[in-house]
Amino acid sequence: MDDRNFKVLIVDDVPKNIQLAGSILQKQEYNIFFANNGSTALKLSETNDFDLILLDIMMPEMDGFEVCEHLKKNPRTRDVPIIFLTAKTDSESTIKGFDTGAVDYVTKPFNEKELLARVKTHLELRRAQQDLWEANATKDKFFSIIAHDLKNPFNAVLGLTNLFLAKYDSFDDDKKKELVQMVNQSSKHMYQLLENLLDWSRMQTGKMEWHPATIDLYTYAFENIYLLENSAENKKICLRSDVEKGTPIYADPNMTTMVIRNLVSNAIKFTEEGGEIRIISETDGEYEVVTVSDTGVGIEEEYVEKLFRIDAQHSTPGTAKEQGTGLGLILCRDFVEKNHGKIWVETEVGKGSKFKFTLPKIRV
């Protein structure tokens, strides 16, 4: 995590203290937020994921101890480190601060070097904690896929082939063809899952090489339309690309094609028969905004924020009961961010989704 991405909240009822602390921390290019009372601090904490909170003890209406207790009871904020800002140096106040959940304290008036050192220390610890948390979530996701999601399609293939062998002579040609098609679909699902799993594993271990170059987005959109055309036709879905020839982007070719492929595959999965999927692009400054738009089932608001998170165990069967792990979207996030872009979704239940991502047009 870049230091500029760290969010720090300063809470103090004295504007001069906020101004002084803010001016010191802004030298490190932290993302600084302010609150002049406890109630405002709690409201801001409900809508922002802070990495550190600097909290004054002596405030009217709600003092720092009470604010800290509220923060530690809230699942969203209980792990955010809190440093008390205080003019008090007596041991009783210090002990009470630690008892309510603070990790440190800084006395006023501020010593610039001390404040910066303490803030930096706890932000580094926060970074390490988040890295460890993500590593554990990654491990859990990996074993979940091995134990459950990869096992299921293998069982399907084994069951179908056992049935085929046991009753081969009694099945007519239509039934045999139907079973072969079912085995083929399960095999394709296994192959895509294994491909995503291997790519994801290489990303996590740093073994996936990144070779950005200036490429034509049109080529990669067209190739994936061709590759996934049969899957779309099986559900009578119109699949097309409106990307113009000669649309330059600066990105890794393999990662670019995997992002498009995963997003289009996902759109096919959640689009009903007779629907439409389009790949669109438009220039926005130094970036190309790529949209994979579908007329599918859409996504409920409560699940949107979980789509690109490794810790969120959310996977929904497709409109034809297609299975998945959610790993494809996590891969898309990793690949897009590796190429200095961002990814998000705009969706409405019953009307469809637009998965959008940006890639630079020139080297950044």
Low-confidence winner among 112-126, 154-168, 315-329 (lowest mean pLDDT)? 315-329
Tokens of 323: 């299975």
DSSP 298-362: ---HHHHTTTT-TT-------TT-----SHHHHHHHHHHHHTT--EEEEEETTTEEEEEEEEESS
Q: How far apart are alpha carbons 21 and 52 in whole angstroms?
A: 13
Q: How far apart are alpha carbons 45 and 38 in whole angstroms?
A: 11
Q: Which helix (H) or strand (E) holds 56?
A: strand 52-56
List, for residues 129-141, the tens digit of each pLDDT value. 887 877 777 677 6
- What is the average pLDDT score of the chain? 86
Of 325, 224, 308, 316, give the one whose Cα is nearest residue 270: 316
Tokens of 272: 């009903």
Low-confidence winner among 15-24, 38-47, 195-204, 294-303 (lowest mean pLDDT)? 195-204
- Asked if the 3-133 domain carries CATH number 3.40.50.2300, the reply is yes
Tokens of 55: 């909290």
C-beta atoms surrounding 148 within 10 Å: 10
DSSP 215: E
- Asked whether 357 and 336 are in contact (CB, 8 A), the reply is yes
Secondary structure (3-state) at 278: strand
Tokens of 357: 């991502």
Q: What is the pLDDT of residue 320?
A: 46
Q: How far apart are alpha carbons 8 and 30 in whole angstroms?
A: 7
Low-confidence winner among 51-65, 132-146, 311-325 (lowest mean pLDDT)? 311-325
Tokens of 259: 């992002």
Question: Percent of the chain scored above 70 by pLDDT?
Answer: 88
Angstrom distances, CA of residue 277 to CA of 39, 224, 260, 322, 355 = 46, 12, 12, 17, 11
* More confident of the two residues 205 and 60: 60
Q: What is the pLDDT of residue 278?
A: 96
Q: How far apart are alpha carbons 206 and 105 in whole angstroms?
A: 38
Q: What is the pLDDT of residue 322?
A: 53
Quickly state the pLDDT bin for 271 (edges 50, 70, 90). very high
Q: What is the pLDDT of residue 134?
A: 74
Task: Give the E-state strand segments of 99-223 in sequence order.
Answer: 104-107, 213-216
List, for residues 169-204, the tens digit of each pLDDT value. 998 999 889 888 888 877 876 777 777 777 777 776
Quickly state the pLDDT bin for 87 (edges 50, 70, 90). confident
Tokens of 224: 């994936």
Secondary structure (3-state) at 83: strand
CATH of span 209-364: 3.30.565.10
- Asked whether 208 and 192 are in contact (CB, 8 A), the reply is no
By DSSP bridging, strand 276-284 and strand 343-348 are unpaired
Angstrom distances, CA of residue 329 to CA of 23, 272, 345 = 39, 20, 11
Question: In the chain, where are the structural domains located?
Answer: 3-133, 150-208, 209-364
By DSSP bridging, strand 82-86 and strand 213-216 are unpaired
